[in-house]
Amino acid sequence: MNNADKSKSLEKTQIESFKLDLSSLVGREITLYSEQFPGKPLKSKILAASTSSITIGRSGSAGQVDDLVTNQGLFVQFDYRGQRVSVRAALKRTGTGNCLLELEDKVVPLARRRFSRLDIDTRVNLAVLPITTFNPTKLDRLRWVATDTRNISGGGTAVEYTGFLESGTNLFLNLDIEEIPFPSLLLGQVRHCQRQERGHFRIGVEFLVKEMREKCFSVSTIQRLPSAVFQYTARTRADLNEKITALIQSTESSR
């Protein structure tokens, strides 16, 4: 790949910082890399956030954050909606001595996604799986909620929801997408939950393939789960990822 191709590839993976919901980061950990402390990651907590800047505490990393010289450039990393991202920032000081980080426009994901993600609004039915009380003969008696996806991949989906769900919550999902032949019943696990406007939430769900079942559930739980959820295998996921990738490329070429 030549330099021009690398530049184009990088541009496709960048997202503008002002489009990030920085308010959702308050209270979370952030990592800073500064030439003042070469090779040493500095940790702190995000105290406040605005459209394109965040304020962090001064006492992080045993006080070394407080030793940072103002008006210097540095790189910051944080987790945003299930992925690690990096952005260059300028360090300023607030009136109380805390660090104000003014973010540049471009945010770069630190790793490519394993699965192609298609932006699509389609209906999905989902129900929280009560692990301890689940009765396989009463699947239809669970509280099923009809909602909408925002994007989908072979590895998971982002959906709208009316309440907060803890990371690790298990779900049953039913998707009906003509172009992508998902099994009739999927097993998923919540990876992140972000507050949206007017009390709504957007949850990121990972689809659990058959090969993951022993890592996620006890033997007794596996025996009580519907056999249909184990039709989704790593091979099935890879095949669907190819279909989704082709669909994305077809959509982009028609624009």
Same domain (yes/no): 19, 37: yes
CATH number at residue 134: 2.40.10.220
- For the chain, how many structural domains are there in total? 2
**What pLDDT is stored for residue 22 in this prediction?**
84
- What is the distance between the alpha carbons of residues 22 and 63, in angstroms, rounded to a whole number? 25
Instruction: Indicate the helix (H) or strand (E) that contains 171.
Output: strand 170-175
Same domain (yes/no): 201, 91: no
Tokens of 120: 């699509």
pLDDT one-digit tens code per residue, 73-118 = 888 888 887 777 888 899 998 888 889 999 988 887 765 557 878 8
- What is the distance between the alpha carbons of residues 181 and 103, in angstroms, rounded to a whole number? 41
Tokens of 204: 């990121």
**Final residue of a structural domain among 85, 109, 133:** 109
For residue 137, the SS3 value is helix
pTM over 0.85: no
Q: In the 8-state DSSP scheme, what is residue 130?
A: -
**What pLDDT is stored for residue 51 in this prediction?**
84
Same domain (yes/no): 136, 236: yes
- For residues 124 and 151, the answer to whether their CB atoms sit within 8 Å is no
Same domain (yes/no): 125, 239: yes
Same domain (yes/no): 126, 155: yes
The residue among 208, 210, 134, 124 whose CA lies nearest residue 174 is 124
**What pLDDT is stored for residue 55 in this prediction?**
94
The amino acid that residue 170 corresponds to is N
- What is the distance between the alpha carbons of residues 169 and 188, in angstroms, rounded to a whole number? 8
**What pLDDT is stored for residue 247 in this prediction?**
78
- What is the distance between the alpha carbons of residues 92 and 99, in angstroms, rounded to a whole number? 6
Same domain (yes/no): 78, 173: no
Same domain (yes/no): 23, 56: yes
The residue among 154, 150, 134 whose CA lies nearest residue 224 is 134
**What pLDDT is stored for residue 9 in this prediction?**
40
The amino acid that residue 114 corresponds to is R
Report the chain (255 residues): mean pLDDT per 10 consecutive residues: 41 59 87 81 90 87 87 88 83 88 84 75 93 83 92 93 90 89 94 81 93 91 92 93 77 52
Same domain (yes/no): 97, 46: yes
Range of the domain at 63: 3-109
Same domain (yes/no): 122, 246: yes
Same domain (yes/no): 99, 150: no
**What pLDDT is stored for residue 39 in this prediction?**
64
The residue among 218, 228, 11 whose CA lies nearest residue 109 is 11
Residues 6+ apart with CB under 8 A from 104: 17, 87, 88, 89, 90
Q: How far is CA 45 from the centre of its chain?
A: 20
- For residues 52 and 18, the answer to whether their CB atoms sit within 8 Å is yes
The residue among 207, 216, 215 whose CA lies nearest residue 238 is 207
**What pLDDT is stored for residue 248 in this prediction?**
75
- What is the distance between the alpha carbons of residues 120 and 239, in angstroms, rounded to a whole number? 19
**What pLDDT is stored for residue 10 in this prediction?**
38
Same domain (yes/no): 79, 194: no
The residue among 172, 184, 177 whose CA lies nearest residue 151 is 177
